[in-house]
Amino acid sequence: MTGLTPESLALLIAATLNAGTVVALASLGLLINERAGVLNLGAEGMMLVAAIAGFATGVHTGSDWLGFAAGAAAGAVLAGAFGLLVIWLNTNQYATGLALSLFGAGLSAFVGITYTQQRLPERPHFAIPGLADLPFVGPAFFKQHPLVYLTIALAIGLTWFLMRSRAGLVLRAVGESPESAHALGYAVRPIRLLAVMTGGALCGIAGAYISLVYTPLWVEGMVAGKGWIALALTTFATWRPARVLLGAYLFGGVTMLQFQMQGQGVQIPSQFLTMLPYIATIIVLVLISRNPTWIRINMPASLGKPFHPGA
């Protein structure tokens, strides 16, 4: 590509990391949900409510970290309501999740009405001292918001948690076969609720990131489909945290790339470039789903199915 200098490549990488973090964070949260066997289609709604909660808190308190906390709380509360419905009342997971998405969209728009003209205090700049000054890798990797690094750490930690810790084993057991876990004496439903609420909190932080860091404004619907992308990403990544990260950065990269290509004067109509991330997701979905045995091995067996103790 003409005009792609090392400087602009470094900046492209940095932008990709930034863009990918939102989706990665939400997707990791959903991964926790799904590992426990619960599919929450309400990610978009949770992220929207968290975005306005975070923004409003940021405006009133001036503190970003309180804003993130508010976002996490909002996500957890909504996820908790969802969890009560699907885990205890056994409502249909897909429909309930959809209802959450729609309700969250409406609620966030409603609450956000007075906040459209507001702005946050000056945004801080982040750079890791020393590392940020290195040529190329400095601007590419080391000038990010702390949450970008925390997300990477989270993915690593989650991998360890799921594969190496006892608690993680229990979580996976609940997702694979809740009946067996129940028979072994594990409290399946509270564990699922905990997983759902943790997932909701992470989606909430992702939502707050959008309104506090990514585009520090409030606008109705500003999550713009990232919740749905995050859902696709967990399947895309066959429920492995490290792959979630890769997929998220891939998605973020393609998003930024299409603007880059427009600026370079690439002759493809911009609409086709905008389609790229979505088509890429479909292609990868097809590739990984091809082998039904593989999917059966990788997907939590009880995903989406209601659990009746003693049934």
Closest CA to 13 of 209, 260, 292: 260
Does the protein bind another protein through residue 8 (CB under 8 A)?
Answer: yes
5 phi, psi to nearest 5 deg: -85, 165
The minimum distance between CB 160 and another protein, in angstroms, equals 28
Within residues 24-63, the interface with another protein by CB under 8 A covers 41, 45
Which one of the spans 12-20, 55-63, 177-185, 201-209 is the region binding another protein (CB under 8 A)?
Answer: 12-20
262 binds another protein (CB under 8 A): yes
Within 108-137, the residues that bind another protein by CB under 8 A are 109-110, 112-117, 119, 123, 125
User: Letter for the amino acid at 274?
Assistant: T
Our finding on whether 270 is near another protein (CB under 8 A) is: yes
* Site for another protein contains 180 (CB under 8 A): no
Our finding on whether 194 is near another protein (CB under 8 A) is no
Which range touches another protein (CB under 8 A), out of 30-38, 180-188, 193-201, 219-227?
219-227
Exposed, middle or buried: residue 184 (CB in 10 Å: 0-12, 13-18, 19+)? exposed
Given a contact cutoff of 8 angstroms between Cβ atoms, the answer to whether 195 and 38 are in contact is yes
DSSP 118: -
d(CA 48, CA 227): 9
| CB 169 to another protein: min, Å | 26
State the minimum distance, in angstroms, from the CB of residue 166 to another protein: 27
* CB of 195 vs another protein, minimal distance in Å: 20
- Smallest distance from the beta carbon of 157 to another protein, in angstroms? 26
Residue 153's contacts (CB-CB under 8 Å, 6 or more residues apart) are none
Q: Of the two residues 173 and 230, which places its CB atom closer to another protein in the complex?
A: 230
Nearer to another protein, 57 or 281 (CB): 281
Considering the complex, what minimum distance in angstroms separates the CB of residue 47 from another protein? 12
Find the Cα–Cα–Cα–Cα dihedral 17, 159, 29, 152, rounded to 10°.
-20
Write the DSSP string, 119-177: -PSPPPP---TTGGGSTTHHHHHSSS-HHHHHHHHHHHHHHHHHHH-HHHHHHHHHHH-
Q: Cα–Cα distance between 213 and 25 in angstroms, integer? A: 14
Q: Which stretch binds another protein (CB under 8 A): 6-14, 64-72, 196-204, 243-251?
A: 6-14
